[in-house]
């Protein structure tokens, strides 16, 4: 990004913000027509019950890139894991204050009640005792300005399949993340004009490596650390979080496999430094297909020298790989500009991301990843 003007940088970051926090379009439906309804994330296909714990981690060795006066780099982490049983208190989707921040930002405060979003059923149990075993660890990083909660369905799915999953919120990069003491820091990064996307990507890579340090240190996380097999670690992210996934692999040899969900890469020479470790790119065909030369997927793909896949989904939008379309359709608010349904987008995300980590972290053969299938006709394979 060297040489780009401040205006150009602000334009790109603003575009990322506008996309990353957007609830699907409301179409012509007036606010009064939106029903009050109980929301529910998709049920996981794995057979294991899922527990969730929330951690507040602070890296005292680093100053925050957005607020240098802060005492270290703060992160909020939701850890999902196979639980001993399905009993106990349901894990909340988000707090009402977090939900309100998202709704206010997009002008939806009078359309969807914050309590409705916050009360979404997650199919996880808060602080449930973990089941015994040694598990692969998968880290998840959300899109720019979006809280980690938008990847909850994927986190629960992977945990139900037998992974321990850590969804990470990066301080001052989310419009609505509640920290201890009821603090809701603003999205300072959203308003900065003197940084580019590479700054965000590299910062997140450092964040994710720190989370690995903490989660695998028994002095820090105790019983959770005993669950993790440090030789089986993966990372995935949506949008700029997907760029961070590849950057984390390049910076941290402990990460064995990674996935980018519909994000650009932004960092010069993205893909260098990961050797033969596997990486998968899956995104909307309209943006990330080989015919679109404006994105950086082709050049990044060519730098990958291990197992790799470049997949696109016809009819998908930027958020088809998150919880947002699934929930919006339950509210009767589908995005008319995205032909792919929220349910179908979720099924594709679940099947391909689940297959990827089951193959590369659990050693389970996955024919789905061999090539196009009639069961998933929307998914195209490029440069096999």
Which residues neighbour 196 within 8 Å (Cβ) at sequence distance 6 or greater? 1, 4, 9, 12, 13, 266
CB 200 within 8 A of CB 265: no
CB 166 within 8 A of CB 237: no
Give Cα separations from 302 to 110, 244, 258, 272 (angstroms): 47, 18, 16, 10
Furthest C-alpha separation in the chain: 56
Phi and psi, residue 335, nearest 5°: -80, 115
Separation of alpha carbons 204 and 111, rounded Å:
33
Phi and psi, residue 59, nearest 5°: -90, 100
Separation of alpha carbons 251 and 207, rounded Å:
11
pLDDT at 308: 98
Six-digit token string for 60: 């005292």
pLDDT tens digits for 257-294?
Answer: 999 999 999 999 999 999 999 999 999 999 999 998 88
pLDDT tens digits for 298-334?
Answer: 999 999 999 999 999 999 999 999 999 999 999 888 9
pLDDT at 35: 58
> Which regions in the chain score pLDDT beneath 50?
1-33
pLDDT at 28: 30
CA Rg value for the chain: 19
Are β-strands 164-170 and 135-141 bridged in parallel, bridged antiparallel, or unpaired?
A: parallel
Six-digit token string for 224: 């959770």
pTM of this structure:
0.93
Give Cα separations from 95 to 50, 119, 177, 274 (angstroms): 20, 8, 9, 38
Separation of alpha carbons 284 and 244, rounded Å:
18
Return the closest-CA partner of residue 215 out of 206, 205, 227, 203.
227
Annotate 63-75 with b (16+ C-beta within 10 A) or e (fewer).
ebbbbeebeebbb
229, exposed or middle or buried, with CB in 10 Å at 0-12, 13-18, 19+?
A: middle
pLDDT at 102: 80
pLDDT at 27: 31
Phi and psi, residue 127, nearest 5°: 55, 25
Separation of alpha carbons 196 and 266, rounded Å:
9
């Amino acid at each position: 990004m060297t040489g780009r003007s401040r205006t150009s940088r602000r334009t790109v970051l603003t575009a990322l913000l506008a996309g990353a926090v957007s609830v699907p379009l409301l179409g012509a439906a007036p606010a009064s027509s939106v029903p009050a309804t109980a929301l529910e994330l998709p049920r996981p296909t794995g057979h294991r019950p899922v527990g969730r714990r929330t951690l507040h981690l602070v890296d005292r060795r680093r100053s925050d890139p957005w607020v240098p006066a802060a005492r270290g780099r703060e992160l909020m982490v939701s850890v999902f894991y196979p639980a001993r049983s399905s009993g106990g208190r349901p894990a909340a989707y988000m707090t009402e204050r977090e939900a309100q921040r998202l709704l206010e930002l997009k002008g939806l405060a009078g359309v969807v009640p914050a309590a409705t979003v916050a009360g979404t059923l997650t199919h996880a149990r808060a602080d449930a005792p973990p089941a015994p075993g040694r598990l692969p660890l998968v880290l998840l990083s959300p899109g720019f300005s979006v809280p980690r909660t938008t990847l909850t369905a994927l986190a629960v799915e992977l945990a139900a399949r037998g992974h321990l999953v850590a969804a990470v919120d990066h301080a001052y990069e989310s419009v609505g993340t509640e920290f201890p003491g009821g603090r809701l820091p603003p999205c300072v990064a959203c308003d900065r004009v003197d940084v580019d996307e590479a700054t965000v990507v590299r910062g997140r890579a450092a964040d994710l490596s720190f989370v690995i340090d903490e989660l695998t240190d028994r002095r820090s996380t105790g019983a959770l650390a005993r669950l993790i097999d440090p030789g089986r670690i993966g990372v995935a992210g949506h949008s700029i979080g997907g760029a961070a996934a590849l950057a984390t692999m390049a910076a941290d040899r402990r990460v064995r496999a990674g996935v980018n969900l519909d994000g650009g890469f932004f960092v010069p020479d993205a893909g260098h430094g990961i050797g033969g470790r596997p990486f998968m790119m899956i995104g909307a065909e309209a943006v990330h297909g080989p015919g679109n030369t404006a994105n950086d997927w082709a050049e990044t793909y060519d730098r990958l020298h291990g197992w790799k896949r470049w997949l696109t989904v016809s009819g998908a939008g930027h958020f088809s790989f998150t919880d947002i379309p699934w929930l919006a359709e339950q509210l009767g608010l589908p995005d008319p500009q995205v032909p792919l349904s929220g349910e179908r987008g979720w099924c594709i995300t679940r099947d391909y991301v689940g297959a990827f980590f089951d193959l590369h972290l659990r050693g389970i053969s996955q024919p789905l990843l061999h090539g196009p299938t009639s069961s998933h006709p929307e998914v195209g394979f490029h440069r096999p």
